[in-house]
A = this chain, B = another copy of it.
Amino acid sequence: MRCEIIAVGTELLMGQTTNTNARDIARELSSLGVGVYYQAVVGDNEERLADVFRQALSRADLIILTGGLGPTEDDITRETVARVLELPLEKNKAWEEKLEKFFARFKRPMVAMNLRQTMVPQGGRLFHNDRGTAPGIYLEREGKLIILLPGPPREMLPMFKEQVIPLLREKLRDQGNLGVLQSKVLRVFGLGESAMAEMIQPLLENQDNPTLAPLAKGAEVHLRITAHSSTPEEAEELIERKAEEVRAILGDYIYGEDEEDLEYAVAKLLWEKGKTLALAESCSGGLLSHRLTNIPDSSKYFLAGLVTYSNEAKINILGVNPELIASLGAVSNEVAREMASGVRRVCHADIGLGITGIAGPGGETPGKPVGLTYIALESDRFQFSNRYEFWGDRQDVKQRATQTALNLLRLYLLGKLKAK
C-alpha cells in the first residue's frame, strides 16, 4: 500500500506551525508496514489543494489529508475533496445532533457556520472526535482509500491511533498484505545516549531482526526494538528475547516501556506499596505535582503538593527554620531536608519530598549558579538528600529537576535508594 500525506493550512506553509501531523502519521504507518512515498503541504487555497490531491490520487492507494476541516470559510478540505471526486456533500444528521448537544452542554452558541462541519461527501463514513467539533472522514473510491483528519494534533493523533489504524489493519488483512512490524520502546533514565550505546555496543553491532535504535528524548533515552515477522506472536517473541538481553545489561536504568513515563512508574509503585506522598516544591513550581496528578486516580496516594515559592510560605506552612534560610539560603541541602520533613509532617504522609533550586534566568548568587537544585526525600527512619546542577533554560531546569525527583522516588520505592 502506497501512501501520500497532504497537510492543508497556510499557517504550515508560512512556517508558523510545524507539521508534526505528517511525522506522526508516517511513524504510525511504518509500524503497519505501509510506506509513505510523498508528503505535501498546501495552503488554504482550493485550486492548489485540488491539484495536489488529484496528483496524489493518480499515484497513491492511500491518501491522508490533515487540516482544513474547521467551521470557517478558509477551511476548504471537505469541499475540495468532494469536488475533485465529484461527490455531493450531504448533511450528517447524527453529527448535527452531536454538535447540538455539545454546544448546549457547554452553553456556547451553535452558529450557522458550525453546520459546515456536519457536511460529508456522499458515501463517507465518519471517525468520531471527542476532542473537537470536526469529525474525521473516510472515503473509498476506485480501490483507493481517502482519509480526512482534523488539523489540531491533539484531535488528529488519538483519532488516527484509535480509529484509523484499526481500519487500515483490517484493509491490509483483507488484501493479504498484513506483515507485522512491531516495536517496543525501553525507557532509560540516568544514562546519556552515548553512554548507553557504549554499554550495549555488542548488541548494537550485531543487529538484524530485531533492530535496535537509541534516541535521546529530553532528559532520557529511548531504545526502540523493532521486529519484523509474519505473526504478531512471533514478532513479540523476537522483541522480548532481545529486550531480555538489554535488561540484563541496563538493569534499573530502564524504568518503563512504551507509553509508560516516569510519573506512571512512580504512581504504579506507590499504588502497589500502599504508600502516600506529599511534596514541597520551590523551583519546580508545581510541575512535579502536575505530572503526578496527570495519572488517573492519583488522589489515592497523592495527598498534597505545596508550592512554597516565598520564604514566608516555607516558614509558615512547612515550618522551615527561618534561621537556616537566613544563614544558608533557601537553596541549600538543609532547607530541602526541612521542606521534605515539614510537608511529610503537615500532611501525615508516608513519604515527603522537597525540591529547592534556582530555575533562572535570574537568581544566581556567588557559588549558587542557575540550575543548582537540592532534592530531599524523607520517610519513616529514612532520609536522603543530594545536590544537583541542571543545565538549560528555566523550563529545562524545571523538567530535569522533576525528572530526577521522580527517579529518586522510583528508586526509593524499589528499595534501591541509599540513605544520605
Chain A residues packing against B (C-beta within 8 Å): 10-20, 22-30, 36-44, 48, 52, 70-74, 102, 105-106, 108-109, 111, 113-114, 130-132, 152, 154, 183, 185, 192-195, 197-198, 204, 213-218, 224, 226, 278-279, 281, 285-290, 292-294, 296-299, 302-310, 312-313, 316-317, 346-348, 359-363, 389, 391-396, 398
Contacts and interface: CB of A to CB of B under 8 A. Distances in A.
B19 A15 contact: no
A38 B15 contact: no
Contacts of A74: 213-214
A347 B310 contact: yes
A194 B218 CA distance: 37
A95 to B, nearest CB: 15
A38 B43 CA distance: 8
**A-side binding surface: helix, strand, loop or mixed?**
mixed
A190 B78 CA distance: 27
Given A305-B309, A306-B317, A312-B347, 5 more contacts: A285-B289, A286-B293, A303-B312, A313-B347, A316-B346
7 contacts: A15-B25, A39-B41, A70-B214, A72-B194, A113-B194, A304-B307, A306-B317
A108 B195 contact: yes
Given A26-B15, A285-B293, A52 B36 contact: no
A40 B40 CA distance: 4
Given A154-B218, A310-B304, A362-B297, A13 B26 contact: yes
A39 to B, nearest CB: 4
A387 B213 CA distance: 49
B307 A113 contact: no
Contacts of A312: 303, 347-348
A285 B294 contact: yes
A11 B213 contact: yes
Contacts of A361: 296
A198 B113 contact: yes
A207 to B, nearest CB: 10
A27 B23 contact: no
Given A20-B18, A71-B197, A72-B193, A308 B304 contact: yes
A38 B41 contact: yes
